[in-house]
């Protein structure tokens, strides 16, 4: 148990025994439904598993536990955690779904995407929970975040200079929807108002054993630094610091929810093809806070929240949209309007393109250049309305169905250590190119298609045309549905356009 918060937080109004029942009553959740609890073997998630089991058991509901190993620790530590979760599942008499990543996978993904390992681990974890929820037909997915987690999150976001959306902290509820806006399941966090100390005391009182994550003791991750160095200083000033910060975050969230409703009323996004657009003059006449909220609503609608974690497509940071929030944007500024029309693309990055054309502000998914890692295609498996989507590489020489790939998809030049999984086993690209007779001076023109599952296809142009596909991947004879085309010209240039 962390010493930084073990003695902080009042027990007077914190009653963990009925917290799930109260949470369900407050948010009108169905305890007779099927629930999935993310369980790591730690004290917080183990307590949550027991509490949810009791709550749904009283209403004839069903419970599954889900354990995910990020492969960031030793095999011995993984085994200890897994055994703890297995014992808990057996004690509760519920099924357990587990999965372990290949060692080094997260580090590779973090390097490829240029983001921190913590963010990549979180995306992988929620992608796993998404798969479990869909497989078992869960209505709710519960995680063990508590008030201390909330306080640490808000402090971290303050240090990054986040705005109201970030400072509202971790939401108690978040609906996961498909591309058509239908709710698939809801992520719930019933312990978010309880301090860590109260949750751990519940574990001791109910004789729940748990495993301490040794990685929490280090200072490699920002959250650990906040927990071990910053939070103790806040507790010295205010013993109830975690609860106070969590309460402040809740108030900010309420204000942000009001802003969200207002943005929906004031900004109407029209879906034209694969882009959302709105009247530019009216948009830029709005206060900056409403503009930002409306832009995030458009991003969520474009990507489809159901595919967010599976696609690894996190929301872009607020600073990405800052050029559109400046007071310099005036709907009456003719010079600005003329300059925009002559160069319509306003922003490009994070898999998005924002442009102004013919008096309308448009936002769409984009192929963006990643200077170190190739070309990143940030596209959903299906567009709004369930239309088919495919990716064409190099003038129809390779057509792939997007539903066979795990986005985001990289089209890039080859790199040392590349391996492709074929029907007869794994083979290095170096050996593959040697067998195909590709001379060293022609290998810069080889296109490698890569998704979350590794190298998906290899397209060779010289001396003869060859295409090698990963086992199980389909090659289409011709494009179908909505198309993303990429004319591959090595690492020096690329062109793309979308055909309806």
pLDDT tens digits for range 86-98: 999 999 999 999 9
CB atoms within 10 A of CB 401: 18
The larger pLDDT score, comparing residue 350 to residue 490, is at 350
pLDDT band for 335, please (50, 70, 90 cuts).
low
Q: Give the pLDDT score at 376.
A: 59
The larger pLDDT score, comparing residue 19 to residue 373, is at 19
Please, where in the chain does CATH 3.30.465 lie? 267-365
Please, where in the chain does CATH 3.40.50.620 lie? 16-259
Distance CA 217, CA 227 (A): 9
What CATH number does domain 16-259 carry, 3.40.50.1370, 3.10.20.740, 3.40.50.620, 3.40.47.10?
3.40.50.620
Q: Is the pLDDT confidence value at 60 over 60?
A: yes
CB atoms within 10 A of CB 377: 24
The dihedrals phi and psi of 60, each to the nearest 5 degrees, come to: 60, 30
> In the chain, pLDDT over 90 holds for what percent of residues?
43
What CATH number does domain 267-365 carry, 3.30.465, 1.10.357, 3.40.50, 1.20.1730?
3.30.465
Q: Is the pLDDT confidence value at 374 over 70?
A: no
pTM over 0.75: no
Per the CB < 8 A criterion, the answer to whether 66 and 36 are in contact is yes
* DSSP-assigned letter for residue 314: P
pLDDT tens digits for range 117-147: 888 888 889 989 999 999 999 999 999 999 9
pLDDT tens digits for range 450-489: 887 889 999 887 667 788 999 888 888 877 776 766 666 5
Which of helix, strand or coil describes residue 121?
helix
Nearest to 228 by CA among 217, 220, 239, 236: 217
Q: In a 10 Å sphere around its CB, with 0-12 CB exposed, 13-18 middle and 19+ buried, how is residue 223 labelled?
A: middle
- The residue-averaged pLDDT of 61-84 equals 91
Going by C-beta distance under 8 Å and a sequence separation of 6 or more, which residues neighbour residue 483? 389, 390, 391, 392, 498, 499
Q: Is the pLDDT confidence value at 380 over 50?
A: no
pLDDT tens digits for range 201-225: 999 999 998 888 776 666 667 888 9
């Amino acid at each position: 148990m962390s010493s930084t918060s073990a003695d902080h937080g009042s027990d007077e109004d914190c009653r963990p025994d009925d917290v799930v029942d109260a949470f369900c009553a407050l948010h009108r959740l169905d305890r007779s439904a099927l629930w999935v609890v993310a369980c790591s073997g730690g004290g917080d998630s183990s307590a949550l598993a027991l509490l949810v089991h009791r709550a749904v058991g009283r209403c004839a509901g069903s419970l599954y536990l889900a354990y995910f190993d990020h492969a960031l620790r030793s095999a011995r530590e993984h085994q200890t955690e897994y055994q703890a979760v297995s014992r808990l599942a057996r004690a509760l008499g519920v099924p357990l779904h587990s999965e372990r990543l290949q060692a080094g996978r997260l580090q590779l993904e973090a390097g490829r995407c240029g983001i921190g390992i913590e963010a990549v681990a979180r995306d992988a974890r929620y992608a796993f929970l998404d798969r479990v929820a869909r497989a078992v037909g869960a209505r709710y997915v519960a995680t063990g975040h508590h008030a201390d987690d909330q306080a640490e999150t808000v402090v971290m976001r303050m240090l990054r200079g986040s705005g109201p959306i970030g400072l509202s902290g971790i939401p108690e509820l978040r609906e996961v929807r498909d591309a058509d806006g239908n709710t698939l399941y809801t992520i719930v966090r019933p312990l978010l108002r309880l301090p860590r100390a109260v949750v751990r005391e519940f574990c001791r009182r109910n004789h729940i054993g748990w495993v301490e994550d040794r990685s929490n003791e280090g200072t490699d991750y920002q959250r650990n630094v906040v927990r071990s160095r910053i939070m103790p200083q806040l507790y010295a000033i205010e013993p109830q610091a975690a609860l106070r910060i969590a309460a402040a975050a809740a108030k900010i969230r309420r204000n942000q929810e009001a802003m969200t409703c207002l943005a929906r009323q004031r900004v109407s996004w029209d879906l034209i093809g694969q882009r959302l657009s709105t009247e530019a003059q009216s948009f830029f006449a709005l206060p900056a806070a409403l503009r930002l909220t409306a832009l995030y609503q458009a991003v969520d609608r474009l990507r489809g929240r159901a595919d967010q974690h599976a696609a690894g497509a996190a929301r872009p940071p607020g600073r990405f949209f800052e050029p559109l929030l400046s007071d310099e944007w005036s709907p009456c500024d003719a010079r600005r309007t003329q300059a925009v029309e002559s160069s319509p693309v306003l922003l490009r990055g994070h898999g998005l393109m924002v442009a102004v054309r013919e008096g309308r502000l448009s936002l769409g998914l984009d192929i963006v250049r990643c200077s170190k890692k190739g070309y990143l295609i940030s596209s959903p498996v299906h567009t709004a309305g369930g239309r088919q989507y495919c990716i064409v590489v190099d003038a129809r020489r390779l057509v792939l169905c997007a539903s066979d790939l795990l986005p985001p998809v990289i089209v890039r030049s080859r790199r040392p250590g590349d391996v492709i999984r074929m029907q007869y086993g794994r083979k290095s690209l170096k050996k593959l190119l040697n067998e195909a007779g590709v001379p060293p001076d022609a290998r810069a023109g080889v296109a490698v298609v890569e998704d979350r599952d590794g190298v998906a296809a290899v397209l060779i142009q010289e001396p003869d045309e060859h295409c090698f596909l990963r086992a199980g991947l389909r090659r289409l004879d011709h494009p179908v549905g909505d198309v993303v085309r990429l004319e591959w010209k090595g690492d020096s240039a690329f062109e793309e356009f979308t055909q309806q």
